[in-house]
Amino acid sequence: MERITPRTLSGFMELLPGPQAQMDVILDVLRRTYALYGFTAIDTPAVEAAEILLAKGGGETEKQIYRFMKGEHDLALRFDLTVPLAKYVAMNYGQLAFPFRRYQIGKVYRGERSQRGRFREFYQADIDVIGDGTLDIANDAEMPAVICAVFRRLGIERFCIRMNNRKVLNGLFEHLGVQDPAAVMGAIDKLEKIGRAKVEALLAELGLGQDQIGTLMDLLLTDEPLAALEPLAEKNETLAAGLGELKAVTALLPSLGVPDGKWRIDLTIARGLDYYTGTVYETTLLDNPEVGSVCSGGRYDDLAGYYTNRKLPGVGLSIGVTRLFYILQEQKLLNDALPTAPCDGLILPMDGQCLAYASACATALRQQGVRTQVYMEGKKFRAKLEYANRLGVPFALIIGGDEMAAGTVGLKDLRAGTQQTVTADQAATIIKQSLDKDIKPVKGS
Amino acid sequence: MERITPRTLSGFMELLPGPQAQMDVILDVLRRTYALYGFTAIDTPAVEAAEILLAKGGGETEKQIYRFMKGEHDLALRFDLTVPLAKYVAMNYGQLAFPFRRYQIGKVYRGERSQRGRFREFYQADIDVIGDGTLDIANDAEMPAVICAVFRRLGIERFCIRMNNRKVLNGLFEHLGVQDPAAVMGAIDKLEKIGRAKVEALLAELGLGQDQIGTLMDLLLTDEPLAALEPLAEKNETLAAGLGELKAVTALLPSLGVPDGKWRIDLTIARGLDYYTGTVYETTLLDNPEVGSVCSGGRYDDLAGYYTNRKLPGVGLSIGVTRLFYILQEQKLLNDALPTAPCDGLILPMDGQCLAYASACATALRQQGVRTQVYMEGKKFRAKLEYANRLGVPFALIIGGDEMAAGTVGLKDLRAGTQQTVTADQAATIIKQSLDKDIKPVKGS
């Protein structure tokens, strides 16, 4: 037979079972935390009509999208979870209760140029709150609360949620008489990457005078942003509105369980020039600022304008889980103590005579909720133990003629190297007690 | 703005939040049950190189596959989870421990002609045990045990796992001197659909004499298949081997927790003519035989022959979850008692003054694991209660100035219509106690 060399496409993450188990714990933490905050799950197709996904059209999206014909249908793979959400809400408007709070965790596709740490298929984990006509600013305060809960439940403590408000920036530009606000915002967005001096040079190129640049920079980089903005709020309504929103959001953070050290106002954060209209968020890993924001989002005025004339404002955030996992793996931050074996108890029958008894023991363990495998192969005992070690199984249950006759098992704790003779039910209890449920997928720092 | 009518492609299931919550519980039961039996999760890309997916090539697959170019890459969407598994095992052979037991739950794509109850994107939920060179027949006994556990945990009791062995059929055909075993097998496979008389006519067309047909039919439809095959086993080695396997498998079922009423040997089951080589399984819903098998699988000799010269025999099964969900929904078998609200407690602040206290109460509830939402909008109280009812939330926590001053909440049980004044912590305890964790997604029958 002619053979084809098996391969997985470049830019498509495919993990071995151990790392996959770590990834699955991370996805599970996300699901549970989103649900804990009262978000409901939806699941939309990975394939949509191209005209739906490209309703907004334009630029990078169109270049990166996987688009193809099937028969007469012009189809494409979704490149984010926001456009499918807009479609979903517009389509099902009459059957949803607003505010509509949904989470979605799913794969999205972007045919980017392949490079290290960039993926063409990756998981996004999004939450959004969508209002019908209006949406109270208090909802914006919940986003940092969810981010904070997610990261701490993952085991990540050294992070900072940085918040800004687009109205503050817009008002500031109005006040300073900036001609091309979008370009200035783009320049400011580069502050972290290229530094103050280069941004000032860019701003000068954009026609800002030294006075304007000085005022702008002093404001953006102040340690007391709310106080510094206060006098300007009297001079510009947009800025005043933005400042009011920032204050409303930050005032609620303590009662929502977001500790002071986990967030700050950062007036240099701009994000998605044409989409966000109010609060914006970025989240930085304090020990890895070079990777940029690992969880971003913000407030928008109009979710689904391409599909409906109803005004549907919202606020949301997105975590690029595949990239986050890649970073955690690269930085060796994943917790080795997290159990990744396929089972907690591996039953090793000494020979074929013991198979039925071994199976009955497995049934007893499973009934108590212990993840159990029976090693069914007729190999030598050493090969069986090697298999257990290779899987990293914490407990082996050895069953020979003596155990079968006595109705017991030889319970071997493979980590401690100890062994005791107990019944299958006792073994289940011992195994369950030994499993630490509180191990987080990321190492404490 | 020119608007595009929002739509979802035909043949792509997209659920409203309530049914989605039911679907997610089903997927969760599958995940947990597979894990309980010692299967490890893998996650392969939905997109692969077309030559990898089509290594086997041929017929229906090639017609149905979604295949497209991206730049110079000839790509396709996976149409099952078996080919990706074969690729995965062949690629990662050196890093896996065998028997390799994996489960995978993911979406697959088939561009079939659109028809009611047929999906172009659907979830498959597969388990397989892969051996390195050999794989003990005892592994085949675990498949019915997993099916049985899955269905019972879903709440489905009225099902029957039907088992056969391809060697029994092959041996029988050899013994009877059948010329075209594949065609005869195809005819037998239709027994349930078209009935005995029409199958006998088909067999006659295939050149079988009335004696052959009579012997075959009597055997296939006997109530005591093992006993009926016994005398023939002496006359044909293949049949003897198959019979031996059937006996080995069925002998282990009691100790693996599969009750007698949940399975039977059915010699008419053929399945996947060119793939399975030993044990085969089908699972029928007793009250809905017309939908056919809802969980099928079997033993194969060679998982990955297109990618590697290593012999990798395996046994596995697959559930078409999207189709199963569709059937359960159509037949009104989904359990309405299953909670599908996005939260267990909805906090209703009377006005904006109470928002911070309401948020602190939400934080307290969430810390105790209660899924909680704060209604942040400045609507009238009636609108707030209507929202709670529309979501189907079991508890509302009403917070006005009095509650805030007293450090309490008005806990309203929306199902019972009762209300009591308690602290947030007490409310969390009451809510948790009231949530029945044992409600299954399918109604008992």
Please say if the pLDDT value at position B419 is more than 80.
Answer: yes
Inter-chain CB proximity B255 and A308 less than 8 Å: no
Taking contacts as CB-CB distances below 8 angstroms, the residues of chain B near A404 are none
Inter-chain CB proximity B21 and A40 less than 8 Å: yes
B3-40 pLDDT per residue, tens: 999 999 999 999 999 999 999 999 999 999 999 999 99
Is A132 within 8 Å of A26 (Cβ atoms)? no
pLDDT of residue A63: 83
A383 touches chain B (CB under 8 A): no
B38 touches chain A (CB under 8 A): yes
Taking contacts as CB-CB distances below 8 angstroms, the residues of chain B near A375 are 99
A153 touches chain B (CB under 8 A): no
User: pLDDT > 90: what percent of chain B?
Assistant: 88
CA distance A16 to chain B (A): 7
Inter-chain CB proximity B255 and A3 less than 8 Å: no
CA A183 to chain centre: 30
pLDDT of residue B445: 58
Please say if the pLDDT value at position B261 is more than 90.
Answer: yes
| 3-class secondary structure per residue, chain A | CCCCCCCCCCCECCCCHHHHHHHHHHHHHHHHHHHHCCCEECCCCCEEEHHHHCCCCCHHHHHHCCEEEECCEEEEECCCCHHHHHHHHHHCHHHCCCCEEEEEEEEEECCCCCCCCCCCEEEEEEEEEECCCCCCCHHHHHHHHHHHHHHHHHCCCCEEEEEEEHHHHHHHHHHHCCCCHHHHHHHHHCHHHHCHHHHHHHHHHCCCCHHHHHHHHHHHCCCCHHHHHHHHHCCCHHHHHHHHHHHHHHHHCCCCCCCHHHEEECCCCCCCCCCCCCEEEEEEECCCHHHCECEEEEEECCCCCCCCCCCCCEEEEEEEHHHHHHHHHHCCCECCCCCCCCCCEEEEECCHHHHHHHHHHHHHHHHCCCCEEECCCCCCHHHHHHHHHHHCCCEEEEECHHHHHHCCEEEEECCCCEEEEECHHHHHHHHHHHCCCCCCCECCC
Q: Which of A344, A310, A337, A360 is nearest to A442 (CA)?
A: A337
Average pLDDT of span B127-150: 98
pLDDT of residue B402: 97
Is B340 within 8 Å of B103 (Cβ atoms)? no
CA distance B240 to chain A (A): 20
3-state secondary structure of B341: coil
> Which candidate in A120, A153, A359 is best for mutational testing of the B interface (most B CBs within 10 A)?
A359
Among B99, B252, B355, the residue with its CB nearest the CB of A356 is B252
For residue B110, count CB atoms less than 10 angstroms from its CB and return exposed for 0-12, middle for 13-18, buried for 19 or more: buried
pLDDT of residue A179: 87
B179 touches chain A (CB under 8 A): no
Residues spanned by CATH 3.30.930.10 within chain B? 17-330
Among B102, B360, B366, the residue with its CB nearest the CB of A36 is B366
Alpha-carbon distance of A122 to B80, in angstroms, equals 20
Inter-chain CB proximity A256 and B362 less than 8 Å: yes
Inter-chain CB proximity A37 and B372 less than 8 Å: yes
Q: Which amino acid is at B138?
A: A
3-state secondary structure of B388: helix
B100-129 pLDDT per residue, tens: 999 999 999 999 777 888 899 999 999 999
Whole-number Cα distances in Å, B437 to A221, B76, B441:
51, 41, 11
CA distance B288 to chain A (A): 27
Alpha-carbon distance of A156 to A283, in angstroms, equals 12
Instruction: Count Cβ neighbours within 10 Å for each residue of A129-147 and write b for 16 or more, e otherwise.
Output: bbbbeebbbbbbbbbbbbb
How big is the A-B interface in CB pairs under 8 Å? 279
> What ipTM does this complex have?
0.96
Q: Which of A341, A323, A392 is nearest to A21 (CA)?
A: A341
Residues spanned by CATH 3.40.50.800 within chain B? 345-434
Taking contacts as CB-CB distances below 8 angstroms, the residues of chain B near A42 are 14-15, 17, 20
3-state secondary structure of B299: strand
Whole-number Cα distances in Å, B375 to A149, A251, B49:
19, 17, 48
pLDDT of residue B2: 78
Please say if the pLDDT value at position B271 is more than 80.
Answer: no
B43 touches chain A (CB under 8 A): yes
Q: Which long-range contacts (CB under 8 A, 24 or more apart) does B235-240 make?
A: B235/B175, B236/B171, B236/B172, B236/B174, B236/B175, B237/B171, B238/B167, B238/B170, B238/B171, B238/B174, B239/B167, B239/B168, B239/B170, B239/B171, B239/B172, B239/B174, B239/B175, B240/B171
Across all residues in chain B, what is the average pLDDT?
A: 94
A113-146 pLDDT per residue, tens: 778 888 999 999 999 999 999 999 999 999 999 9
pLDDT of residue B299: 97
Nearest CA in chain B to A131: B377
Q: Look at the domain B17-330 and name its fold.
A: BirA Bifunctional Protein; domain 2 (3.30.930)
Q: Which of A142, A42, A61, A80 is nearest to A319 (CA)?
A: A80
C-alpha radius of gyration, chain A, whole number: 27
- What is the CATH architecture assignment of B345-434? 3-Layer(aba) Sandwich (3.40)
Q: Which amino acid is at B250?
A: T
Average pLDDT of span B361-369: 98
Is B267 within 8 Å of B169 (Cβ atoms)? yes
Report residue B122 as tokens: 């659907």
In the structure, how many helices (H) and strands (E) does chain B have?
A: 16, 16
How many C-beta atoms surround the C-beta of residue A31 within 10 A?
Answer: 17
CA distance B87 to chain A (A): 5
Is A187 within 8 Å of A203 (Cβ atoms)? yes
- Selected residues 282-341 of chain A with any CB under 8 Å from a CB in chain B: 304-309
A27 touches chain B (CB under 8 A): no
CA distance B269 to chain A (A): 26
pLDDT of residue A211: 92
Alpha-carbon distance of A137 to B55, in angstroms, equals 55
A397 touches chain B (CB under 8 A): no
Q: Which of A206, A211, A209 is nearest to A180 (CA)?
A: A206
Q: Who's near A392: CB < 8 A, 6+ residues apart?
A: A18, A339, A340, A341
Inter-chain CB proximity B372 and A36 less than 8 Å: yes
Alpha-carbon distance of B341 to B332, in angstroms, equals 19
pLDDT of residue B58: 66
CA distance B198 to chain A (A): 37
| Low-confidence stretches of chain A (pLDDT beneath 70) | 1, 58-59, 272-273, 444-445
Instruction: Scan for tokens 């999760």, then name that residue.
Output: B41
A407 touches chain B (CB under 8 A): no
Taking contacts as CB-CB distances below 8 angstroms, the residues of chain A near B48 are 8-9
- The sign of the dihedral angle between the CA atoms of A373, A376, A377, A382 is positive
Inter-chain CB proximity B306 and A48 less than 8 Å: no
B294-331 pLDDT per residue, tens: 999 999 999 999 999 999 999 999 999 999 999 999 99
For residue A156, count CB atoms less than 10 angstroms from its CB and return exposed for 0-12, middle for 13-18, buried for 19 or more: buried
A372 touches chain B (CB under 8 A): yes
pLDDT of residue B273: 60
